[in-house]
Amino acid sequence: MKIEAAIAYRDQTEFTIEPVELDGPQADEILVKIAGVGICHTDLFVRDLAAHIFKHPAVLGHEGAGIVEAIGENISKVKVGDKVAITFSSCGTCANCERGPAAYCENFQALNMSGMRSDGSRALSNEQGELEGSFFGQSSFATHCLTSERNVVKVADGIPVEIAGPLGCGIQTGAGAILNSLDVEAGTGVMISGGGPVGQSAVMAAKLRGCTTIILVEPQESRREFALKYGATHVIDPMSCEDISAKVREIEPRGLDYAFDTTGLDSALDAALKSLKPKGALGMVGMSPTNAAMPATINNFAAQGLRVIGIIEGDSEPDEFLPYLMEQHLAGHLPFDKMVKTYPFADINRAIAEQHDGQCIKAVLTFD
């Protein structure tokens, strides 16, 4: 079928929207008409810095949501007409999938980052030939995408389907880091580095869990103000603060129980580690732009009993966690919609620029 998709070319710094041919669904696939798709930093990282990992030309996008338009003969989880949010792909049969969480699937790389279906075929092509697709099992920077049963979760009544896609990546990553990976307790203190969608989701989740001190470290004033409105007790501007950890200890002299970094910056990680009390834990999702080493000595870790936890997708089991997040949203405890700004699909490059410049927190592309 003919669809439109945003294509990443190796020699271009912007996406190009053009007609693309999409195969029909195989027996284990679901065809989804996309209603909205979030823009995630990972899409841009792969477009700009990791073209050697995910070859170009490619159709990216991995925070899609929409309406099921067709299903393969082996599909039983959803039916035509269902509203679904699409998340990452996992095999469901490896040891990590069986004991959970599925985010650590042994086949994660092949299913999410290979550019092809699990059988080695490619579902997308244009006049130049086959395109890399199946990004995170979806490639939803398009009017339609193919995905699988393990990728989809039904959208609860009351949640606009066009903004539900970020639940499948950025929101579950930030909220899951707090609620699952770090499993913070009520009455504890947490520092969150970076006020993008993942960081803001973490702020909301920390409030939901009952943390009494929630500190966001973020250079953009509008994002600091947003965090104070939706959960943060304190904010710090790293551009006007010479010693972030000293500022944290003005707020909590004994240090914090938890820290969560979304930036991957060695300076942010250093500040986070220095802000922890003994037995404190640091969770990390940010990819280092310089592949930096951890800015701490073994003796500091050992002497203080510190823990450092790498986190993928918020340690989420999507079939369980996404419905929980939707439930909390409908109850007013996770107002992720407040950070969403929608843009027409045709304005994808403007949306990326405005999200980067801080004119919005979470850009979501929508379709007529």
- Joined together, the tokens standing for residue 350 give 């403007």
Comparing 287 with 345, the larger pLDDT belongs to 345
User: Among residues 175, 164, 112, 157, which one has the least CA distance to residue 138?
Assistant: 112
* 226: alpha, beta or left? (left if phi > 0; alpha if psi -120 to 50): alpha
Q: How far apart are CA 45 and CA 179, in angstroms?
A: 26
Quick one: average pLDDT of 261-284? 93
- Cis check: omega of the bond before 101, within 30 degrees of 0: yes
- With cut-offs at 50, 70 and 90, classify the pLDDT of residue 290: low
Q: How far apart are CA 277 and CA 286, in angstroms?
A: 22
Quick one: average pLDDT of 184-196? 97
- Does 173-312 match 2-168+335-366 at the fold level? no
Q: How far apart are CA 311 and CA 309, in angstroms?
A: 6
Comparing 128 with 154, the larger pLDDT belongs to 154
Q: Distance of CA 2 to CAs 21, 82, 296, 351, 357, Å?
A: 5, 22, 53, 25, 34
pLDDT of 18 reads 96
The residues pairing with 308 across neighbouring beta strands, listed in sequence order, are: 282
Superfamily in which the 2-168+335-366 domain is placed by CATH: Medium-chain alcohol dehydrogenases, catalytic domain (3.90.180.10)
pLDDT of 50 reads 66
Q: How far apart are CA 255 and CA 6, in angstroms?
A: 46
Domain ranges across the chain = 2-168+335-366, 173-312
Quick one: average pLDDT of 199-205? 98
Quick one: average pLDDT of 31-42? 96
**Which H, E and C letters describe the chain, residue by residue?**
CEEEEEEECCCCCCCEEEEEEECCCCCCCEEEEEEEEECCHHHHHHHHCCCCCCCCCEECCCCEEEEEEEECCCCCCCCCCCEEEECCCCCCCCHHHHHCCHHHCCCHHHHHHCCCCCCCCCCEEECCEEEECCHHHCCCCECEEEECHHHEEECCCCCCHHHCHHHHCHHHHHHHHHHHHCCCCCCCEEEEECCCHHHHHHHHHHHHHCCCEEEEECCCHHHHHHHHHCCCCEEECHHHCCCHHHHHHHHCCCCEEEEEECCCCHHHHHHHHHCEEEEEEEEECCCCCCCCCCCCCHHHHHHHCCEEEECCHHHCCHHHHHHHHHHHHHCCCCCHHHHEEEEEHHHHHHHHHHHHHCCCCEEEEECC
Quick: pLDDT tens for 320-364: 999 999 999 999 999 999 999 999 999 999 999 999 988 999 999
Q: How far is CA 89 from the centre of its chain?
A: 13
To the nearest 10 degrees (0 to 180), the angle between helices 221-229 and 197-209 is 20
Q: Distance of CA 40 to CAs 8, 46, 141, Å?
A: 14, 10, 11
51, pLDDT greater than 70: no
260, pLDDT greater than 80: yes
In the chain, how long is the greatest CA-to-CA distance? 63
110, pLDDT greater than 70: yes
Q: ∠ CA 180-315-218 to the nearest 5 degrees?
A: 75
- Please give the CATH number for the structural domain made up of 173-312: 3.40.50.720
Give the residue carrying structure tokens 């220095």: 274
pLDDT of 367 reads 95
Burial letters 123-142, b for 16+ CB under 10 A, else e: bbeeeeeebbbbbbbbbbbb
pLDDT of 301 reads 75
